[in-house]
Amino acid sequence: MKIENKIEEFESLGDDHIGTSSNTPLRGDAFKLSNDEKIEIIKDDVRHIMETLGLDLTDDSLSGTPNRVAKMFVKEIFGGLDPKKKPSASTFENKYKYGEMLVEKNITVYSTCEHHLLPIVGKAHIAYISNGTVVGLSKMNRIVDYFAKRPQVQERLTIQIVKELQKVLNTQDVACVVDAKHLCVNSRGIRDIESSTVTSEFGGKFKDDATRREFLDYIKLDTKF
Ligand SMILES: [Zn+2]
């Protein structure tokens, strides 16, 4: 394939928000540099972008921005690239012998579109059927947050959440639905403020119609507290 065609293909892949793999595409040397070294380099990159745009970085309001953005990239919004940040896999024995579905819904998702580096904001709903192992409820929020804090594609985020919980819970019976707004769609390009994107991944028993239907009905429940 000619190189121009390749570039065109990659660009349309990005525009259509299609990811290429369920693993985050990281290079083998991704963690050779320390976080502090990364912050120093990114700081210069952000300064370069701002200066190229013609901004005056001696202005008090702008002078701290390169450092602030670099720290935010490395430690916060892309902090989930670091495998050391993965929530520990503490699980418990299912003492109540609760064999029904457990649903944790409306988990807040703050992520970043890897094609435009703009926010993805939404909710994740997770369900699993225990085969003897359970996790603390907050663990599910932490797993969502860990995978969300990466440059992401919503489909991949949904699959990564399910795969991690399948591993931790030692069962295939895990499902996740993510409903999120992409600011690259809502605030630029086509500027559709109302639209949101729904992605789902159903493992094990959740591939059965009745089980899947039960999960989706729980998500629809609008309980008043
Ligand atoms: Zn985007």
The CA 121 to ligand 1 mean position distance, Å, reads 12
Under-50 pLDDT residues of the chain: 1-4
The CA 152 to ligand 1 mean position distance, Å, reads 9
pLDDT of amino acid 88: 86
Closest CA to 211 of 124, 128, 115, 107: 128
User: Are 221 and 197 within 8 A, CB to CB?
Assistant: no
181-202 confidence digits (pLDDT tens)? 999 887 777 778 888 999 999 9
User: Are 202 and 161 within 8 A, CB to CB?
Assistant: no
pLDDT of amino acid 14: 57
Identify the CATH assignment for 91-220 out of 3.30.413.10, 2.40.50.140, 3.30.1130.10, 3.40.50.720.
3.30.1130.10
Assigned token pair, 141: 């929020």
User: Are 199 and 159 within 8 A, CB to CB?
Assistant: no
User: Are 19 and 156 within 8 A, CB to CB?
Assistant: yes
Task: Classify 97 in phi/psi space as left (phi over 0), alpha (psi -120 to 50) or beta.
Answer: left
Domain 31-77: give its CATH code: 1.10.286.10
User: Are 112 and 119 within 8 A, CB to CB?
Assistant: yes
pLDDT of amino acid 2: 47
Query: Active-site residues: which are they?
Result: 113-116, 154, 182, 184
User: Are 133 and 105 within 8 A, CB to CB?
Assistant: no
**Ranges of each domain in the chain:** 31-77, 91-220
β-bridge partners, 128: 102, 174
The CA 188 to ligand 1 mean position distance, Å, reads 9
Reduced to 3 states (helix: H, G, I; strand: E, B; else coil), residue 57 is coil
Residue matched to tokens 């435009």: 116
